Amino acid sequence: MRLLLGFVLSTFWLWEASLSRVYTNHWAVRIPGGPSEADNLASKYGFTNLGQIGGLEHHYHFHHSRVVRRSTFVTRGTHSFIHMDPKVDWAQQQLVKTRVKRHARSDPSYIHLNDPKWSNMWYIHCSDKNSRCRSEMNILAAWQRGYTGRNVVVTILDDAHLASYDVNGNDYDPTPRYDFSNENKHGTRCAGEVAAVANNSHCIVGIAYNARIGGVRMLDGDVTDVVEAKSLGIRPDYIDIYSASWGPDDDGKTVDGPGPLAKQAFELGIKKGRKGLGSIFVWASGNGGRQGDHCSCDGYTNSIYTISVSSTTENGNKPWYLEVCSSTLATTYSSGEFYDRKIVTTDLRQRCTEGHTGTSVSAPMVAGVIALALEANPLISWRDVQHLLVKTSRQAHLKANDWKTNAAGHKVSHLYGFGLVDAEAMVVEAKKWRTVPPQHTCSKTSDRRTRSGCRDQPDQQVVFLEHVVVRVLIVHPRRGDLEISLVSPSGTRSQLLAQRLFDNSNEGFRNWEFMTVHCWGERAEGTWTLEISDSPSQLRNPEVLGKERRNEVQTSIRLNMLPVTKCSDCSFNFYIMFCKKGTNKTYNILHWLCS
């Protein structure tokens, strides 16, 4: 084995034919000349301008009715010349993305509710004297303190007037499409968890039952980068929390994430959403446990801008569908084996269901808890919310062999993040929370492996960690054989990637970002060690392996960081990126997102 251009783990280049792509008759176009110019260019090349893409300035959604709706090849014609028009900065024909919904194929006497399924909501209160029942998310206690989500707006990105939109139908009616299979029940179920009305004698009560709820219909059709960007950018001035219980296929072999437009929508949301406090994006961590999937290969749950949420059973056991990764922030109750109870919620056609399952359950639960915290303190930022979850989530009775205490005193696990959410603790802490400093950016490029942490820039000195992101370029004959770990200067080990049995791809990782929250609150200075392990499986082609590839190969890279001047309240996100610079040279770019 040899290293080529950073972390390129291969003695050869071998690329298999890419999976069949499906092109649509929709385009994303960047035109700096404004809406009128966009209309003129759309007309010139035979398109219809469907308007700006969410809140992305100068980005427009074009549609061409004479181009086939779905095709396995890029279409050609006079419309394709729009790429070369000098008034167009950038244009991209939209590809269909595979996105799957992530359902798995205190004293209650003070609360008086007439909703018929109230007694079945074991995850909020225990009324059946069942010794297995553990209601440790303290939602009831938060209600008893007077917090019910009032004046907070939550939108479900699946299925309230101003908080809703139909991206698939390009109109303001997000009503799910009914069919005999009730395929589009997912969003309705998630919405009920958050904000089902209390005391209306129907079904259940939502965690934030006085919050305003909206729905964005965007999964009932072809999902493209434009569709996702529009959905993530719906009314950021009005919507506080976006909850998403979907993502790339959890098949144990997919590596996928947001496209360039969706990435911009995330960044715009955290910068301008909620009048500058930042939109809050909550994401289900994934249901690929049985396929040996790893949520670090999901670019949505792996983002610093999202709150990735895991699940546990009523007994605190690991559910069969659970994915393990270092980006998970917190956990809620959900379903488990056939004998474990599931979640009750609203369903299509004015019905209830007692069969809601998977990590799809957990994202809207956390969205509801965050809504309670926002009622307690509407001025907390998107980063404050993450800090509150880190501080208040608890190990409780969650069973995992990898619980550890990091150098900042936080207990954390690859299965459950910082533990089970605690709604009462969230509202109590939010009420008295002191906002963390604004996020700054410090970028250094150097061939040296020792970094000062912006020591020469007093306003951007780095002391304490939030997220740590590692960007790698790896070429490899079988991606599923790789394991990657990061060890912080304090000795905290994060598994960034585990082996994946079904991942036979030879595409490796092309500037893929892995993220860990396990170093949260630790000091940044010292030696960072990135370990890459290549354990050849029987599935690797022996003709390709070569004799030197039949045994496990490990490599590690250490990066030293000089101590920085102490500051009283300073946090940051640390990016390690490995890129090529010339021939046979490596260099490291460290992006410090400092406070």
> Hey, which residues are catalytic here?
158-159, 186, 360
Strands (E), 131-172: 153-158, 165-166
Q: What one-character DSSP code corresponds to residue 3? A: B
How many C-beta atoms lie closer than 10 Å to residue 584's C-beta?
A: 8
Task: Give the chain's radius of gyration (CA, Å).
Answer: 24
Contact in structure between 529 and 496 (CB atoms under 8 Å): no
Is there a contact between 90 and 30 (Cβ–Cβ < 8 Å)? yes
Phi, psi of 79 (to 5 degrees): -65, -25
Cβ–Cβ contacts within 10 Å for residue 116, how many? 12
* DSSP H or E segment with residue 542: helix 542-545
Range list of β-strands (E), 202-272: 212-217, 241-244, 246-247
Q: Hey, what are 372's tokens?
A: 């309670």
Report the C-alpha gap between 392 and 425 in whole angstroms.
6
Quickly count helices (H) and strands (E) in the chain. Answer: 9, 28
Degrees, nearest 5: CA angle 144-150-154: 120
Q: What are 329's two structure tokens?
A: 């922030």
CA atoms of 269 and 56, how far apart (whole Å): 10
Phi (first) and psi of residue 393, to 5 degrees? -70, 150
Q: Are 122 and 356 in contact (CB under 8 A)?
A: no
CA distances from 456 to 164, 361, 459 (A): 47, 47, 9
Strands 586-594 and 442-446: antiparallel
- Give residue for tokens 């949520």: 295
